[in-house]
Each structure stands twice: as structure tokens, then as C-alpha cells.
Amino acid sequence: MIIIDVKNSDSIDRALKQYKRKHREVGVVKELRRRQHFVKPSVSRRAEILSARYRDVKKMELEG
């Protein structure tokens, strides 16, 4: 649960901005999207390996 401390002098726009920032930091939407579909562990591991390989290739291109 996201809790926002609002003072009497704060405007509703400021409180809304704080809420949106905390919501983004917590990653609620990202987690919901991730949980929409089940991904097998082997598929997620393969994606990690491919992204690591891609990063290595890009790093080598910048160095060489």
C-alpha cells in the first residue's frame, strides 16, 4: 500500500505528483505486466543469456 503524507498547505497537484512518483518507484504496473503471462524458467534464462551476449558484442564494438 502506498502512503502519501499530505500537509494542509500542500496542493492536490503536489500530492498527486508524489503519488505517481511512488507508484512508479514501487513498480506496480511493471509487476502486473510481468505476471500477465507465465514464462517458463528455461525461456527466461535464455532471454538473459541472449541479452548478456548482446551487451558483450556492443561492448566489444565500442572498444575495438
Residue boundaries of the structural domains of the chain: 39-64
- The predicted-structure confidence for 7-64, as pLDDT tens digits, reads as follows 888 888 988 999 889 888 888 888 899 899 999 999 999 999 999 999 999 999 998 7
Q: pLDDT at position 4, please?
A: 84
Q: pLDDT at position 3, please?
A: 84
Distances (CA, A) of 48 to 9, 38, 60: 48, 16, 18
In this predicted structure, the answer to whether residue 1 has a pLDDT above a threshold of 80 is: no
* Cβ 23 vs Cβ 2: under 8 Å: yes
How much is the pTM?
0.48
